[in-house]
Structure 1
Amino acid sequence: MGLNKRYDGYQAYGYLDEKDFKRFKMAKELERVEEYLVSLQPEEEERVERLARDNIFISLHDHPTRLPESLDEVFEYTRVGRDHCAYKGLSKSYYDAVFDNMLDGTTTITSANGWKWEDILYDLGMRLCDLAHQDFLIHCKKVEDIHKAYREGKIAWVASVEGAAPIENELDRIDILYGFGVRMMGITYSESNNLGSGIKEDKDGGLTAFGKKAVRRLNKVGMAIDCSHTGYKTTLDVIHESEHPIFLTHVGARALWDSKRLSPDEVLKACAQRGGVIGIEAAPHTTLTKNHLKHSIDSYMEHFEYIVDLVGIDHVAFGPDALYGDHVGIHNLYASQLSTKKTQGSLEFEKVEYVKGLENPTEASKNILRWLVKKNYRDSDITKVLGGNILSVLDKVWRS
């Protein structure tokens, strides 16, 4: 059901009147910049349509919400606490399920530094309230919800928290987040926390004693683990400690581009050897290569092919990490919370205003599939990387 979604036109917080909270002029969900689609022959277009219709397509990591049109208003918009889901944009995508990481480090409602427990709950609660007033996105709590969304022409919305700093030293906060419907958590977000080291750090001390307890608790409650922003040694420790396979939801191959934001072969192999899945990242200026110094769908898919060759088709998927609005601008504004400069690497590259072919979740979903068809990947392999591989791991990790 990647096509013909059953969307009724609901807009974020449409249950409230204009006077109930401050409104902002929002960025366009679609056509903010000129759309780019991978060119195909007519018979390839037909194949794309069939594959989009017949397969479950899952984004392993995105932020499918809208930014204000003017970034000058972003800080005020965030303090209001109502992140706007891009329902219309998502309805035009091929996705049947999206792991939504919400505001993560930009959740600066009560603190300019972000990542506070109260802010995470505020962000999550507001989003859940909005979701409760519409029927296009299904709050996904189990694998069957993804199949249900696919059957009904809807999208399964998976709540994710990108880093575990907000739990501080309280294991029970994992249970609380699970109770609120969170189904994935990152171990660290670039900076170290009580669980272990982040990729921003010069030294990686590995998984802490508390971190080992947290991994075991995540396993027990049935919450998926993500190590995309986690230090390499800490990630290897998590892979060893976890009863279940883990995810690297949005990474690339460091062998292709020397940046801490991307994973070395050792980590990629270890994740796959324990049955995990690796999602390919597309946030601006991440998955570059020496062949493609300008970030685009081409550099992105070079990382995909490298990792497929390295670990096998059964362990790769897509986590574009896109949003609706000026993604480059938001990274610049929140550079300290998002740790972009400390993890980007020192190689020279051509800066872009947006990532061509991956401007937002809708365009990314279309071009990933179009690229795979253009390169004549087999239907069975496309089925795996669009969602089959993810579902296989979730069947093991989610306990209900």
Structure 2
Amino acid sequence: MLIDALQCGNFDREVFEELKAGGFTCVTPTLGFWEGTLESLDELGRWRDREREYPDLIKIVRKAEDIRAAEREGKVGVLLGYQNTNLLEDRIAYVELFADLGVRVLQLTYNNQNELGGSCYEEHDSGLARFGREVVREMNRTGIVIDCSHVGDKTTLDVIEYSQKPVAITHANADSLFPHKRNKTDPVLKALSQTGGVIGCAAYRNITPADACATVDAWCEMVARTVEIAGIDHVGLGTDYSHKTGPNHLDWMRKGRWTRGVQYGAGSAAVPGKVAKPDWLVNIGALNSVEGGLRRVGFDEGDIAKIMGGNWLRLYEDVFG
């Protein structure tokens, strides 16, 4: 079983065929970053159209059993998620409505402070707001995975403490292995593991060690060091791999509609634009090479199965059944 907890970009038949050929069991695409309710509904509609257009390739996942069914049917399970909560537009009732429409993952904040809590890029992390607590509990109730990948550390710790179900960090790395505002400190990873959560190790060059971008074995060594911090039951894959994206897509991710200024996202003035894929992951199908890499760095078959997808499947079962 191969589960990638976060990808983004433009998905078409060619991408789905590559995912299927690569042995993917389930992928979470990013349906939105800054979009409001109507735009987010439009994107949900487009994904339903894709499922009708490519019934031989994909299956939208609503329950964990749908992931197993996709595997049996030779399809790629698609777990629908957003990297922000703008789609709620301050309405608690919309959590349930989007859950009923098939949304299974919501990141509480993207790159900016919002009404729920603080982001990783704010100078001051406010912690989980009152509305944020309401949304967390409603996501628990309606079976939506809470994603804290771009969320500030204080807010993430508040969410982990307040949530009644395991929390996800779908695409990040350990800050102690690669210092970056987007990555997570050891105290966050330990708190995550103590409550059943999972971190998806990323392969995005701006937040990943240079050697881990050079070879799959070095990336798997990074995964091994993450396991030492969080534990074998709490580490999975979350590549943050982007499909068929260009400058306009990058500008939207970084700037949205909220600024006219220059924004680098996880990059910097020294690395301002789109970065190259890891040398070993130029094509997403190469992610299946991680299995062999994990074996070479010392993991046994049971632990490999957990990292490749078992830990995510367990979290999904805990959160939405």
State if a TM-score over 0.5 links the two structures: yes
Residue 137 of structure 1, aligned match among 35, 40, 58: 58
Q: Which residue of 2 aligns with 1:310?
A: 229
The structure-2 alpha-carbon separation of the partners of 1:65 and 1:373, relative to structure 1 and needing over 3 Å to count, comes to farther
CA deviation string 1:62-81 (max 9, x = no partner): 12634xxxxxxxxxxxxxxx
Does the 8 Å CA contact 1:258/1:347 hold for their aligned counterparts? no
Q: Which residue of 1 aligns with 2:181?
A: 260
5+ residue gaps, structure 2, are none
Alpha-carbon distance in 1 for matches of 2:304, 2:263: 31
Report the CA distance between 1:377 and its aligned residue: 2.0
Q: Within 5 Å, give how 1:1-400 maps onto structure 2.
A: 56-63=1-8, 65-66=10-11, 86-102=15-31, 104-105=32-33, 114-135=34-55, 136-288=57-209, 292=211, 297=216, 300-325=219-244, 330-331=249-250, 334-337=253-256, 341-344=264-267, 353-363=276-286, 365-399=287-321
CA deviation string 1:194-252 (max 9, x = no partner): 11011111000100000000000000101111100001000000001100011111110
> TM-score by structure 2 length?
0.89
Alpha-carbon distance in 1 for matches of 2:220, 2:21: 22
Does the 8 Å CA contact 1:250/1:278 hold for their aligned counterparts? yes
The structure-2 alpha-carbon separation of the partners of 1:205 and 1:295, relative to structure 1 and needing over 3 Å to count, comes to farther
Alpha-carbon distance in 1 for matches of 2:238, 2:127: 25
Whichever of the two has the greater Rg, that structure is 1
Does the 8 Å CA contact 2:2/2:308 hold for their aligned counterparts? yes
Alpha-carbon distance in 2 for matches of 1:222, 1:101: 18
Alpha-carbon distance in 2 for matches of 1:340, 1:322: 20
Paired AA for residue 105 in structure 2: M
SS in 2 for 1:384: helix
Paired AA for residue 100 in structure 1: P
Alpha-carbon distance in 2 for matches of 1:118, 1:314: 38
SS in 2 for 1:201: coil
The structure-2 alpha-carbon separation of the partners of 1:188 and 1:275, relative to structure 1 and needing over 3 Å to count, comes to same
Identity of aligned residues (%): 29
Alpha-carbon distance in 2 for matches of 1:334, 1:296: 28
Alpha-carbon distance in 2 for matches of 1:340, 1:306: 31
The structure-2 alpha-carbon separation of the partners of 1:129 and 1:366, relative to structure 1 and needing over 3 Å to count, comes to same
Does the 8 Å CA contact 2:84/2:106 hold for their aligned counterparts? yes
Paired AA for residue 306 in structure 1: R
Alpha-carbon distance in 2 for matches of 1:345, 1:298: 27
The structure-2 alpha-carbon separation of the partners of 1:184 and 1:293, relative to structure 1 and needing over 3 Å to count, comes to closer
The structure-2 alpha-carbon separation of the partners of 1:300 and 1:294, relative to structure 1 and needing over 3 Å to count, comes to closer
5+ residue gaps, structure 1, are 1-55, 67-82, 106-113
CA deviation string 1:128-185 (max 9, x = no partner): 1121233221111001101111112111111011111221210111111111101111
CA deviation string 1:14-68 (max 9, x = no partner): xxxxxxxxxxxxxxxxxxxxxxxxxxxxxxxxxxxxxxxxxx21111112634xx
Report the CA distance between 1:281 and its aligned residue: 1.0
Does the 8 Å CA contact 2:213/2:279 hold for their aligned counterparts? no
SS in 2 for 1:383: helix
SS in 1 for 2:242: coil
SS in 2 for 1:86: helix
Alpha-carbon distance in 1 for matches of 2:246, 2:208: 15
Paired AA for residue 234 in structure 1: T
Alpha-carbon distance in 2 for matches of 1:244, 1:270: 13
The structure-2 alpha-carbon separation of the partners of 1:372 and 1:186, relative to structure 1 and needing over 3 Å to count, comes to same
